[in-house]
Amino acid sequence: MLALKALIFDVDGTLADTERDGHRVAFNRAFEEAKLGWNWSVDLYGELLAVTGGKERMLHFLDLHLPQFLEEQRQAGTLDDLIKNLHIRKTYFYTQLLSEGAIPLRTGVKRLLDEAREQGFRLAIATTTTPANVTALLENTLGKESIGWFEVIAAGDIVPNKKPAADIYDYALEQMNLKAEECIAFEDSSNGIQSSLGANLKTIITQNHYTETHDFSGAVLVLDHLGEPNEACTCIAGDINGVTFVSMDTVKAL
Ligand code: XBP
Ligand code: MG
């Protein structure tokens, strides 16, 4: 068994609960600005989250709910520009929300990152979201220098196939020159764990309100969050050895 060397974190839903009050709100602001008359409710967005990637998610929405509009845009040759420009504006609105401090880190994330760094473990990010969103989240929650804590920020379109494909985790491992057995992944969704397991990574799940019904088969731990000394986490699957928050001792013992 190879010694643990690195922790690889998903972003949306794992580092922070960004989807409902962050990305979803940003999409709606972009739609309103473009006067499209679209508005993604909390429930509809939960359905659309089946597709990772904001650009892909908008296409999925049109395919499901506005097929005629989609076809008209395709026929007119304007679809690619529409999606690209909407996504640029959505990313602007999202990073603006982050700069206003709208989205905090999830419970236990900062504590575990600090402990991992103190003990010399390497850190990386493997996410479907746009790189600018990652740096904005890190900058607005942990400070600008935290961007440098992560050896690799594998994000968005850097790989051809987004989660649930394993591409983004394979890319992170390759960039770090590490074997999957030397790392552990932190995820929040079924798309995410399919990706991390696809890269043969041991995976800890911290579920959220959008993903609590997802299938997390294969996870070494399924938790409601990473916990704090004064805020016990709940272990939904796996064995956390009776502790009430995830420390590096917990991670190393998995
Ligand atoms: C979550 C995603 C992203 C975000 C939206 O990524 O699927 O697409 O929902 O961000 P992960 P973009 O859980 O892998 O962090 O609009 O920039 O794609
Ligand atoms: Mg996620």
Which ligand sits closest to the CA of 53?
A: 1
Ligand 1 center to 12 CA (angstroms): 6
Tell me the three state secondary structure of residue 235: strand
Ligand 1 center to 127 CA (angstroms): 7
Q: What is the pLDDT of residues 149-206, one digit of tens each?
A: 999 999 999 999 999 999 999 999 999 999 999 999 999 999 999 999 999 999 999 9
Helix runs in 100-130, H state only:
109-118
pLDDT band at 103 (very low <50, low <70, confident <90, very high): very high
Angstrom distance (rounded) from CA 34 to CA 115: 45
Q: Residue 111 has what pLDDT?
A: 98
The full DSSP string for 143-166 is -GGGGGGEEEEEEGGGSSS-TTSS
Structure tokens, 108: 């236990």
Q: Residue 49 has what pLDDT?
A: 98
- The residue with tokens 């900058």 is 139
Residue 146: CB within 6 Å of ligand 1?
Answer: no
Q: How many CB atoms within 10 Å of residue 137?
A: 27
CA angle 160, 66, 72 (to 5 degrees): 85
Strand locations in 32-170 (E): 122-127, 150-155
- The sheet with strand 202-206 has its strands ordered as 150-155, 122-127, 6-9, 183-187, 202-206, 221-223, 235-238
Identify the residue whose C-alpha is closest to ligand 1 atom 4: 129
pLDDT band at 2 (very low <50, low <70, confident <90, very high): confident
Q: Residue 37 has what pLDDT?
A: 97
Q: Annotated catalytic, 10?
A: yes
Active-site entry in 10, 17, 167, 170: 10
Q: Tell me what percent of the residues of the chain surpass a pLDDT of 90.
A: 99
Yes or no: say if 163 and 180 are a contact pair by the CB < 8 Å rule: no
pLDDT band at 1 (very low <50, low <70, confident <90, very high): confident
Kindly report the backbone phi and psi dihedral angles of residue 72, in degrees, each rounded to the nearest multiple of 5, phi listed first: -60, -45
Q: Residue 17 has what pLDDT?
A: 98
Q: Residue 125 has what pLDDT?
A: 98
Amino acid at 246: V
Structure tokens, 105: 């880190």
Q: Which helix (H) or strand (E) holds 187?
A: strand 183-187
Q: Annotated catalytic, 239?
A: no
